[in-house]
Structure 1
Amino acid sequence: MLEKSLNIRQIEAAELDIVLGWAAAEGWNPGLHDAACFHAADPGGFLIGELRGEAVAGISCVRYGGNFGFIGLYLVQPAYRGLGHGLALWQAAMARLDGCNIGLDGVVAQQGNYARSGFRAAYRHVRHEGRGSGEALAAEDIVRLSAQDLAAVSRYDRACFGGERQRFLQAWLSQPQHKAVGSVGAQGLRGYAVLRPCRNGYKIAPLFADTPALAEQLFLALQGQVAPDMPIFIDVPEANPAAVALAARHRLQPVFEAARMYAGAEPPLELAPQYGIASMELG
């Protein structure tokens, strides 16, 4: 029985920092500017649970284009776990995404619970850690990208993600302290990658490319933007052998894993271009 009924409400971007602080305490290492970027994806897609005015639980339930939704940032403060508050928040999130095919990246400890709610595992995302190189890469076909390239990035991203997320990408490509690079060929964008600052080091997120050779160039271009004593992280889809090989080639070490799970049919995504996803919290 709940000690008191949980008050569940939507939260604003500034309040997202509360939940992201909990995520940092769990070792998830969120980005420094994730709150604004996440909120831009779907301003109504973030819920918080309160008891007597105190925030005790949070969840994201972001609705993207194409009837695709994503659940993440599902956290209950340790002192309030096992009391039913997490379940109440989960049910509110699922209700908000009613009618969507829903994806999530489930941590190992919660995968059984997600399976009991009807989610099926597709493959794993494994976070790998390495170090920057501090070596600038000069490559003619690698160019800097910005929010001005949103249309091209959005078209490329759509085939790798499962839903249209132009509002998220606009914020992602505009956040402070980030670096974004891509390669443009005769048929348009051939791949892109973003480096963003996190509580600890940097994440390359995402890294999408047409070929392993191009993925290597994009990775090296962003690795070179980070000092050798700073950590870098990338969330690698284990279902793409070329992505796993890239991580191994650069001696990146696995440090965390989650299972990509779907409540409905697995979307027909192109896995071959995926070398690192944008976020385990929002997909």
Structure 2
Amino acid sequence: MNNPNDFTVRTMSTAEVELSVEWAASEGWNPGLHDAPCFRSADPDGFFIGEWQGEPIACISAVAYDEHFGFIGLYIVKPAFRGKGFGIRIWQHGMDYLQNRNVGLDGVLAQQANYRKSGFALAHRNIRFQGVAQGAEYSNLSNASDLPFEQLVDYDRQCFPAARARFLAAWIGQPDAVALAAVRAGRVAGYGVLRRCRTGCKIGPLFADSEGIASDLFDGLAARMPGEVIVLDVPETNPAAVALAERHGMTSVFETARMYTREPPTLALERVFGVTSFELG
């Protein structure tokens, strides 16, 4: 490799977060139309660009949700620069930023061995299901933005390893998206977000107290974009979530390995019917 000092890593600008999402689209990850500003809202300092002689060639996100939990994603090296050691250098920069937090990631199954070398251990698989949106409107669902925001944050925290109010506000309020919630006996019993992507749309998160509520939310969201290709990323640890996807005629197209550097966080995984995103957890 040439002079290693010609490779530098620094925090991304707002425009460079957009660039990293463009690279993700080139990799076939099919990001949402407004992922970049939503992702950045989670931790503006947790996105890094690697430059070789002034040219951006690598990126990574290392989102610190709080002092205890972080998540690695958007780990990309441009194809022409792979195999030259740039990837491990920007990776180490991201991991150093997260310091001693418990760090999660969703990695392709083939890379598990490499992630294990960095101290990650497998928690479970996430299965990507894909189908065609065919839903029904439900009168017992509310727009998530109409609920007291604190209630939504509290419910989300039961299904995610950290409170993420800034991200959640951006996520449910983004353009080209629908966010619905189920309220039962005066309390939030589930919510879901459907966002338009480069191709079709994705549901995530989909959190619910029961399979019935999750199914109502899925149908209510799908009804907003009928006939579109729809994606749902399901943790295999929740058999009811797998059954919901299959019952809606979806088929498995991809898998990731959810891995952590420490013990998996204690979560209500039986309520997780769809993860938010493979990039931010």
Q: Is the contact made by 1:31 and 1:196 (CA closer than 8 Å) also made in structure 2?
A: yes
Q: Is the contact made by 1:121 and 1:261 (CA closer than 8 Å) also made in structure 2?
A: yes
Deviation at 1:136, TM superposition (A): 4.1
2:152 corresponds in structure 1 to 153
The answer on 1:203 being equivalent to 2:202 is yes
- Give the total of aligned pairs: 280
Q: Deviations over 1:227-248 (max 9, x none)?
A: 21x2010111111000000011
Moved more, 258-267 or 147-156: 147-156
1:1-283 to structure 2, matched below 5 A, reads 1-2=1-2, 4-5=4-5, 6-65=7-66, 67-133=68-134, 136-139=136-139, 141-146=140-145, 149-228=148-227, 230-283=228-281
Name the CA distance, whole Å, in 1 between partners of 2:187 and 2:13.
Answer: 36
Deviation at 1:152, TM superposition (A): 1.3
Residue type matched to 1:12 in 2? S
Q: Is the contact made by 1:2 and 1:85 (CA closer than 8 Å) also made in structure 2?
A: no
Q: Secondary structure at the match of 2:269?
A: coil
Deviation at 1:149, TM superposition (A): 3.7
Deviation at 1:78, TM superposition (A): 0.6
Q: Is the contact made by 1:147 and 1:174 (CA closer than 8 Å) also made in structure 2?
A: no
Name the CA distance, whole Å, in 2 between partners of 1:199 and 1:168.
Answer: 21
Q: Is the contact made by 1:58 and 1:75 (CA closer than 8 Å) also made in structure 2?
A: yes
Q: Is the contact made by 1:68 and 1:101 (CA closer than 8 Å) also made in structure 2?
A: yes
Q: Is the contact made by 2:72 and 2:103 (CA closer than 8 Å) also made in structure 1?
A: yes
Q: Secondary structure at the match of 1:50?
A: strand
Q: Is the contact made by 1:147 and 1:170 (CA closer than 8 Å) also made in structure 2?
A: no
Change beyond 3 A, Cα 1:116–1:246 = same
Deviation at 1:147, TM superposition (A): 7.4
Deviation at 1:188, TM superposition (A): 1.2
Residue type matched to 1:125 in 2? N
Residue type matched to 2:261 in 1? A
Q: Secondary structure at the match of 2:104?
A: strand
Name the CA distance, whole Å, in 2 between partners of 1:2 and 1:163.
Answer: 41
Deviation at 1:4, TM superposition (A): 3.8
Change beyond 3 A, Cα 1:239–1:231 = same
Name the CA distance, whole Å, in 2 between partners of 1:243 and 1:234.
Answer: 10
Name the CA distance, whole Å, in 1 between partners of 2:28 and 2:253.
Answer: 10
Deviation at 1:101, TM superposition (A): 0.4
Deviation at 1:90, TM superposition (A): 0.7
Residue type matched to 1:213 in 2? G
Deviation at 1:150, TM superposition (A): 2.4
Q: Is the contact made by 2:16 and 2:49 (CA closer than 8 Å) also made in structure 1?
A: no
Name the CA distance, whole Å, in 2 between partners of 1:169 and 1:262.
Answer: 22
Name the CA distance, whole Å, in 1 between partners of 2:70 and 2:91.
Answer: 14
Q: Is the contact made by 1:3 and 1:83 (CA closer than 8 Å) also made in structure 2?
A: no
Name the CA distance, whole Å, in 1 between partners of 2:249 and 2:133.
Answer: 12
Task: List structure 1 runs of 4+ shifted beyond 3 angstroms.
Answer: 1-4
Change beyond 3 A, Cα 1:225–1:181 = same
Q: Deviations over 1:171-199 (max 9, x none)?
A: 10111111010111225100000000111
Q: Where in structure 2 are there 5+ consecutive unaligned residues?
A: none
Deviation at 1:13, TM superposition (A): 2.3
Change beyond 3 A, Cα 1:213–1:2 = farther
Q: Is the contact made by 2:238 and 2:273 (CA closer than 8 Å) also made in structure 1?
A: yes
Residue type matched to 1:242 in 2? A
Q: Deviations over 1:202-238 (max 9, x none)?
A: 100110000110001000001111121x201011111
Name the CA distance, whole Å, in 2 between partners of 1:169 and 1:147.
Answer: 14
Superposition RMSD on alpha carbons, in Å? 1.3
Name the CA distance, whole Å, in 1 between partners of 2:208 and 2:138.
Answer: 18
